[in-house]
Amino acid sequence: MTAYSAAFDWARRTVTEGRLPTAVLGIATAEGTVALDAFGATSGRPARTEDHYRLFSITKPLTGLVALRAIERGLLTPQTPLTTALHDFGANRDDIVRLSHLVSHTSGVREPALDVADLRTELLKPSRDFAAGAASRYSSVAFDGVAALIEHATGETWEAGLAALGDDIGATFTFDESTDPHTVVDAEANGLDIAAMARLRHPGAGAIGRAADLLALGTALLRNDGTVVHPATAAMMLRPLTGDIPRLEPYPAERGQDWGFAWNLRSRAPGLIDRDVFGHGGWSGTEFWVHPSAGVAYVLLTNQGTRPGVDADELDNAIIAGR
């Protein structure tokens, strides 16, 4: 781990100073995992490198990859309307919401809490924030629409597609609570009912995984050899879909990012050394990022929703510098 000692010092320091309860940090190249360690404890339970964590919104690009695989089979295109799968969607809307809008947070669908009683009911409510494509506002419920399109097109559950992706790269992304993911220490204080959210098996926020699972994905994406998606598809998924349209909270323009096909593209991030990067973060502090030019991917798993004094750009820069 000497090549990335500064990054692991960051993780250790952030836990030791009480800014995070735990941190599992792993780094990979196209050849595989090169460094992995764990720090801290959750209510006396020491963090281990093989532990499961709730991935929260890292689930979004996983679902996006399943949709891309359906596109490669000729079953969908980015322009497929959501009404193809959900005929009742869009009551009182005069626009067309397409798959590309759902994956790029430009659908205008109003966003409910992560622990609502039923995602599909929320998705089908006859209201909108804005016309599809006119602005960007972060949306998790939109990925229930992505799941609906996948299932309508393939005749299989979107979770089956996710399992197939995992099998191809040697990873397991699950919704199985028996994996005992680390408790999100401040979920209740932040008004989030984790048990209720878990029951949704949320395609935008519900997956559970280990560092090794995401590192396997990072390695496969760096190789770009067709195992995950065809190289041409990989290039397409990283094309910005948001351009210069207004960015609404919680990701305003000054965050310096674009949205690709379910990926966060930090192409204008003011705090990064290397802006050739795509990935995603999650509500509890989870991070998964791939730097193609630098040839490195990394994952940070942790379990705290509110993180004052934690700046993940610091970690990203330490990894890129490789010190």
Token pair listed for 226: 């067709």
User: 309: which DSSP letter?
Assistant: T
Cα–Cα nearest to 243, from 98, 136, 111: 136
* pLDDT at 304 (0 to 100): 98
Give long-range contacts, CB 8 A cutoff, 24+ apart: 251-258.
251/105, 251/136, 251/137, 251/138
* pLDDT at 273 (0 to 100): 97
User: Can you give the residue range of the structural domain that contains 170?
Assistant: 2-321
Amino acid at site 98: R
d(CA 22, CA 2) in angstroms, rounded, equals 21
d(CA 196, CA 182) in angstroms, rounded, equals 16
State CA 230 to chain mean position distance. Answer: 20
* pLDDT at 257 (0 to 100): 83
Q: What percent of the chain has pLDDT over 90?
A: 93
* pLDDT at 2 (0 to 100): 67
Domain count, the chain: 1
Cβ neighbours of residue 32 closer than 8 Å, sequence gap 6 or more: 215, 219
Write out residues in the chain with pLDDT < 50, as ranges.
none
* pLDDT at 3 (0 to 100): 87
Tell me how crowded residue 19 is: count the other CB atoms within 10 A of its CB.
17
* pLDDT at 244 (0 to 100): 87
* pLDDT at 93 (0 to 100): 92
132 in Cβ contact with 108 (< 8 Å): yes
Token pair listed for 73: 């089979």
**Pairing, β 296-301 against β 287-291:** antiparallel
* pLDDT at 191 (0 to 100): 98
Please give the C-alpha separations between residue 214 and each of 112, 299, 305, in angstroms, as whole numbers: 27, 7, 20
Q: What is the CATH number of the domain that holds 199?
A: 3.40.710.10
Token pair listed for 261: 């096909």
Where does residue 87 rank: exposed (0-12), middle (13-18), buried (19+ CB within 10 A)? exposed
Nearest 5°: phi and psi at 158? -65, -30
Where does residue 195 rank: exposed (0-12), middle (13-18), buried (19+ CB within 10 A)? exposed
